[in-house]
Amino acid sequence: MTEKLTYTDAIWKSHAPYSNPFQGSDKRVLFVCSAGILRSATAARLYAKKYNTRCAGSFAFALIPVSPELLLWAQEVVFVNKENYDMVHAHYDLDNYPCKVKVLNIPDDHEHMAPELIKQFEEQYEPV
């Protein structure tokens, strides 16, 4: 009799733990702002019903900083503005990652889930 694997065991025993059957088949989208707690967290929350979303920050002080693991996990990385893209691209050659990259133009002057911030995401982010 074979031992039944837990979800976690199966993920780590798989050849590609970033793409495993237990997280579903929804597109994996990483939203990136400066600290990963206002703009990108808003976007992750907005699009979570349609996609498998995460948020992260481009600055070292971010709650969850962008990492190679997140970049490998994501099928699409959405930067809220060019500054955040430039900071990540300076540390990671994004051309070497399999994810698609989008750069929006949303300034760092919004609170989490602010109506104006939501409006800007709706106007600028075109989900594929």
How is 40-73 classified by DSSP, letter by letter?
A: HHHHHHHTTTTSEEEEEESSTTSSSB--HHHHHH
Q: Is the pLDDT of residue 16 over 70?
A: no
Cβ atoms of residues 109 and 124 within 8 Å? no
The confidence score (pLDDT) of residue 10 equals: 58
The residue with greater pLDDT, 82 or 72, is 82
Q: Is the pLDDT of residue 98 over 70?
A: yes
Report domain extents, the chain.
Answer: 24-109
Selected residue with higher pLDDT from 69 and 128? 69
Q: Which CATH class is domain 24-109?
A: alpha beta
> 């996609």: which residue's tokens?
51
Element of type H or E holding 97: none
Q: What does pTM read for this prediction?
A: 0.87
